[in-house]
Each structure stands twice: as structure tokens, then as C-alpha cells.
Chain A
């Protein structure tokens, strides 16, 4: 077990290295194919109508004149050994892990990422609770009452939930509940949990529900299919033959087995989400990792892009490892080696 975890972590680390190299490559090598010079790269980070002198200075400051390998090496060195940042009036130490400084704002990337994690995590955890509870219970009821009106309505709604994009449902929900009825706060509302838990939940209510709606739909459909399958298993018949109450047959024997594939999906979904719920955070203006990612990409701010990509990938890797470990706990037939 321990060796398994260690091996997986080493693999994950190697994957992060590859991801960072690919991201770096996309950023630098692809424009070079199109014939971009260091100055052309630098011209993305200056004010409009900047003079060639300004552009050349910026190219030098951002290190674009060095070979890509050297720039990558500098980035990696910053990650493990820290770096120094010259802000004009002085030099600042950027301790490891130093993801560098934004090309645009000059702000260090790592503190910004850390600062934004609670937002995304709050969003993800609340939505996850909602969608798992709602999706699984609707899926179970649908499976048990297969073909009923309830089944048809809930599966129809689920289809809508899967097909409607967040920026649509999110915007509609804001217009109706926040600006129309005034039940929920306007977009951009965010309070830290430690400051005021009630306000925290109130502000996140709408994003939670909107995000959960999307996922609950998938989970309901998956749970329904899984339940239909497991409820036909021999061991369900055995449980009934023992005289077990039907609700216990469903939850303890049926659901337990049906939830295993859902656990895998949940791990990956949750891992992706805490790496940044891009659409939800953009729609509701939540200052989380997803908003950070979209801004970084829009601004072509490489250090920010690298930071958020690696953090998000790290979350996914950890989540999938946790899922594998949990899997072994849930299903005793799985042995990790």
C-alpha cells in the first residue's frame, strides 16, 4: 500500500513536469513557429502604442531573449529554490514554491493562488454535497420507480441539466433570484467562511445550486443506471431472502454497490473543480482559481497560467489517487499493488 502510494506520487510528479513543459512549449514554441520574436511576445505585455524601446526593455525584463530551455530552467529553479524579483525600487525574495510574477501586474503568482483556493474549495464542497445528495437520491428513486411519472420528469430534467451551460443557467438565476426577487446576493458576493459562516453560505447559495444542478443531472442518470443494474444482482435477492427490509436492501446492498463507479467520477469531478470552476466563477464573479485561470489565459500571462495549470493538475492527480485508495476501501476485491 505505502509503496503503491509512493509510486503513484512519483508518477504524478513526472506528469506535472510533463504538463509544465507542454504548457511552456505551447506558450513559447508555438508562437516561434509563427515567427514571433522576443519583442513580439513582449508586446503583449505593454501599453498600446508602446515604443520599440519599451518593448525591448520589457522583453529583457521578462527574459524572453534567453533560449526557451533557459527560461524553463529558471522557472523550475524558482519552484524549488525560490527566486528574486526586481521591482525597480528594490529586490524582493520570492520563496519556494515560486511560480514567478505575473507578466501583467507584477504580482507574485503563488500567494494569489493560495488566496483564491478557499473560494474555489468553498464553491466545490457545497456544490458537491448538494449534487451528490440530490443526484443520488433522485437516481435511486427513479430506478426504484422505473417508468413512473417521477422517473420521466426527473430524467427529463436531468437531460436539461446536462445540456444547459452554466453561463446560461447562472445568468438566468442571477436575473431572476438576485435582481428580480432579491432573494440572493448579486454576482461577485463572497465572504470568507472564517469571517461569517452564514454570510458565506448565503453568498454561495446560488452558485452552489447552479453548479450542483449541472452535476446532479449526470449523477442522477448514472445512479439510476447503476441501481437498475445492481438491483437485479443475485445478492440483492439474497438480502431479500434474509428478510431484510426493502429500504435497507436498497441502501445497504443496492446503493452501496451502485455508488462505486460514481465514486470514481466524483473524485475526478471534484479534483477538476477545486482546480477551478471556471464557468461558475466567471459567471458569478467569484475570485477563485477558475476566474484566475480564465484571466491568466485571456491575458496570456504565462507565470499565472503555469501556476494555475500545475495547481489544477495537482488537484486532479491527488483526487484520482484518493479515489483509488478509497476504491480499495469500498470494494474489498480491489487490491492495490
Chain B
């Protein structure tokens, strides 16, 4: 069993308009020291997944099922109090918008100290010293002074560094970063990603990076999971996803990826249409209304939900198209188009 094992995770929200299946049967696993990228558009269920792992949907109106095994412990059946004790200590999270995710009325230091003292019975002085250390480790200059600053007094990048310092303050074994760089400038993005890689090595933690941008996870991830409409549509190693992608949605994501050798606004293969409603998920393959190759399935696209099937060596794909046809499309149509400068 892996360090983190998620099996058939379902997170459904009953609403007045119907049942929202935010996450619908998701499975993946992750070892210590490894990084998993979960990629998808907004509304694909990737953020809900991460909150589900942390148990932050418990007690609300969400219905959770499936299993989450963290270091040999099952979390969905565990008590809320037990999961709370693990949160921040064994598993921690970095959020997308560090400005809104930090309390505006408390200093950065106060918030790190608070995080540390929840799980460590130490004096405020000790915790404060730890907070200063952490700020220094995430690359904040003059941490002794900055520890007493308020979030709004930091720049965007500094805030995200502080956020990371807060998440890492208790030495978590599982770190989930939800769009950690989205709110940041491109140059700062790279710094933050470098920082996260360095820290992961240092702490040997398992890391899940959630993003809509394949580019973010390209260098960091060992594995990548592509989500669409609450389901996994492709799951494999980073090499699988970048060099042998088999799902038309993954192709679309690759086409949308900003690359340094292109104009940033240029999109070679944009994905037409918008993400599906999670209440009225399209019948059959949820991607079919946007799939350029839907007519090649002989009508199965609208009637059957494609199964997640293994093609080779742990590479999983959920698509009605023939494997051969997919390979053919990739090699002859998509890849050449992507490589054309």
C-alpha cells in the first residue's frame, strides 16, 4: 500500500437543483517524496478532491464515499476530531489566493505561530522563533522583522512564500498545493515552483499540485492525473502525459499550455466550448460535446460512459476511441501541430 491511497472517492453535494457530483469515483496513489499533479479546468473537481482528502468537507452537506488511506489509516471513516489532528500536522495545504487565504487582521507571524502551536505544545517564544526560521527558509528576507507584518503588507510572491511557510511549519508528510502560482506573476511563479521543489526534497513529503496549467506540473510531477467532469480521464507518469497522451482532452490541455517558444496569447489547439455542468453531466462520455473526434466512436460517445482502462504500464485512459486510432491521431495530427513553432 502506498503512503496515500485514494480509492473510488466520491464527493457529492445535494443542492436544490439536484445532486452535484463534484468528484465521482476517483482513485490514485502517491508515495513519500513523490509528486502528483492533478490537472483540469475549473469545475473539474480537482480542488474538491484536495479538500476531501483533508476532510474539510466533513460535517457540511457533502456526501463522501470511497476510501482515503493515509499512511495506513483510513480517513473517510475516521472521526472528525481525528482528521482535524492530522490536518496541518500530517497533511497541509497551500491555497490559491494567498491574500484572501490569510486572515487580514492577524500578522503573518501570528498565523504561522498559531498553525505551529495547534500541533506542538510549545511556548509562544519558541513558536515565534520557529516562525522566523520558516520564513527564512522560504526565502523571505529579514524574517525577524517581517514576522510582524500583516498579509496586506507583503507582495504577492512573499505572501505565497509565507503561506508555504505556514503549511510546512509542522513538517507535513503530505502537502497539497491548490493552484499555488495562479495568482502570481510569471517570474514569481517560477521562483515559487523552484522553492516548492527544493522544500519537497528537503522534507521528503508527498506533494499534490493542483492546477489547470500543465506547464506548472511539467517539471515537478512524477505522475499526472487529468480530471474532467469529476472523473479521471487520463492518469500516468509525466512522460506518459507529455509524450504519449491518449485522451483528446489532454491533447487540448497540451495545446493550451503557454510555452516559452511561443507568443503567450497564441493557442494552437484551444478546447472549444466550456466545462460541463456537474448537475447535468452530458450523457455517455462527459467530454463528447467538446470532443473533435466524437463522431469517430460510432455513437457510443452519447450512450456509454467509457471505462478507465489501462493501456500500458499504469497509463490509464477513459476514451471510446480505439487505442490505435488515438495513437495515430497523436502521432500524425496533434504532435506535429504542437511542435510547429
Whether A and B are associated in the same complex: the answer reads yes
Q: Tell me the A residues contacting B by CB distance below 8 Å.
A: 233-235, 237-246, 253, 256-257, 330-333
CB distance from B148 to the nearest CB of A (A): 11
In the complex, what's the smallest C-beta–C-beta distance from A202 to chain B, in angstroms?
39
A332 close to B150 (CB less than 8 A): yes
A243 touches B86 (CB 8 A): yes
Docked-complex contact B104 and A244, CB < 8 angstroms: no
Which residues of A have CB within 8 Å of B85?
A: 243
Q: Is the CB of A241 within 8 A of B105?
A: no
Is there an interface contact between A234 and B89, defined as CB atoms closer than 8 Å?
no
B97 touching A332, Cβ below 8 Å: no
Task: List A contacts of B166 (CB < 8 A).
Answer: 242
B319 contacts chain A at the CB level, 8 A cutoff: no
Q: A243-B88, A332-B152, A333-B150 are in contact. Are A238 and B104 (CB under 8 A)?
A: no
Question: Which residue of the partner chain, among B88, B105, B152, contacts A256 with CB atoms under 8 Å?
Answer: B105
Known: A256-B105, A332-B105. A242 touches B100 (CB 8 A): no
In-complex Cβ contact of B56 among A240, A256, A257, A333 (8 A):
A240
29 contacts between A and B (CB under 8 A): A233-B100, A234-B97, A234-B101, A235-B102, A237-B101, A238-B101, A238-B102, A238-B103, A241-B87, A241-B93, A242-B87, A242-B88, A242-B114, A242-B115, A242-B166, A243-B87, A243-B89, A243-B118, A243-B119, A244-B88, A245-B84, A245-B118, A256-B105, A257-B104, A331-B104, A331-B105, A332-B104, A332-B107, A333-B150
Interface residue tally on B, bucketed by range: 20 to 34
A246 to B101, CA, bound (A): 17
Nearest A-chain residue to B55, judged by Cβ: A240
CA distance A331 to B115 in the complex (A): 21
Q: B154-174 vs A: 1/0 string, CB under 8 Å?
A: 000000000000100000000
Check B95 against A234 for contact (C-beta < 8 Å): yes
A331–B103 Cα distance when bound, in Å, is 10
Instruction: Give B153 Cβ to nearest chain A Cβ, in Å.
Output: 8
A256-B105, A257-B104 known; A241-B152 Cβ under 8 A: no
B54 CB-CB contact with A under 8 Å: yes
**B105:A257 contact, CB within 8 angstroms:** yes
Q: Is B92 an interface residue (CB 8 A)?
A: yes
List residues of chain A with CB within 8 A of the CB of B105: 256-257, 330-332
Distance to closest chain B CB from A82 (angstroms): 48
CA distance A234 to B163 in the complex (A): 13
Which residues of the partner chain A approach B104 to less than 8 Å between Cβ atoms? 235, 257, 331-333
Residues of B within 8 A of A (CB): 51, 54, 56, 84-89, 92-93, 95, 97, 100-105, 107, 114-115, 118-119, 150, 152, 166
Tell me whether A238 and B150 are in contact (CB under 8 A): no
List the A side residues contacting B114 at CB < 8 Å.
Answer: 242, 244
Q: How far is the CA of A330 from the CA of B104 in the complex (A)?
A: 10
Pick the 5 closest A-B CB pairs, nearest first.
Answer: A243-B88, A243-B87, A234-B100, A242-B88, A234-B101
Question: Known pairs A234-B95, A237-B56, A241-B93. 14 more at Cβ < 8 A?
Answer: A233-B100, A234-B97, A234-B100, A235-B100, A235-B102, A235-B103, A237-B95, A242-B166, A243-B118, A244-B114, A245-B118, A253-B103, A256-B105, A332-B152
Q: In the complex, what distance in Å separates the CA atom of A138 from the CA atom of B154?
A: 36
Give the residues in chain B near A233, CB-CB below 8 Å.
100
Given the known interface contacts A234-B95, A234-B97, the answer about A242 and B102 at a Cβ–Cβ threshold of 8 Å is no
Cα distance, A233 to B151, chains bound together (Å): 15
Q: In the assembled complex, which residues on chain B have CB atoms less than 8 Å from the CB atom of A240? A: 56, 87
Residue in chain B with minimal CB distance to A244: B118
A241 CA / B88 CA spacing, docked (Å): 6
Closest A residue by C-beta to B176:
A241
Residues in chain A near residue B92, CB distance under 8 A: 241-242
Q: Which residue of B lies closest to A329 (CB)?
A: B105
Query: Nearest chain-A residue to B90 (Cβ)?
Result: A243
Smallest beta-carbon distance B156→chain A, Å: 15
Shortest beta-carbon distance from B208 to chain A in Å: 13
Assess the B89–A239 pair: CB atoms within 8 A: no
| A241 partner residues in chain B, CB cutoff 8 A | 54, 56, 87-88, 92-93, 95
User: Which residue in chain A gives the minimum CB-CB distance to B100?
Assistant: A234
A207 to B88 alpha-carbon distance, docked (Å): 49
Q: How far is A158 from B97 in the complex, measured between Cα atoms in Å?
A: 37
Partner of B118, one of A238, A242, A246, A257: A242
Cα separation A144 to B299 with both chains bound (whole Å): 49
CA A243 to CA B93, docked complex, whole Å: 11
Q: Which residues of B contact A246 (CB under 8 A)?
A: 84
> How far does the alpha carbon of A16 sit from the alpha carbon of B89 in the complex, in Å?
58
CA gap between A259 and B283 in the complex, in Å:
47
Q: Complex: how many Å from CA A330 to CA B150?
A: 12
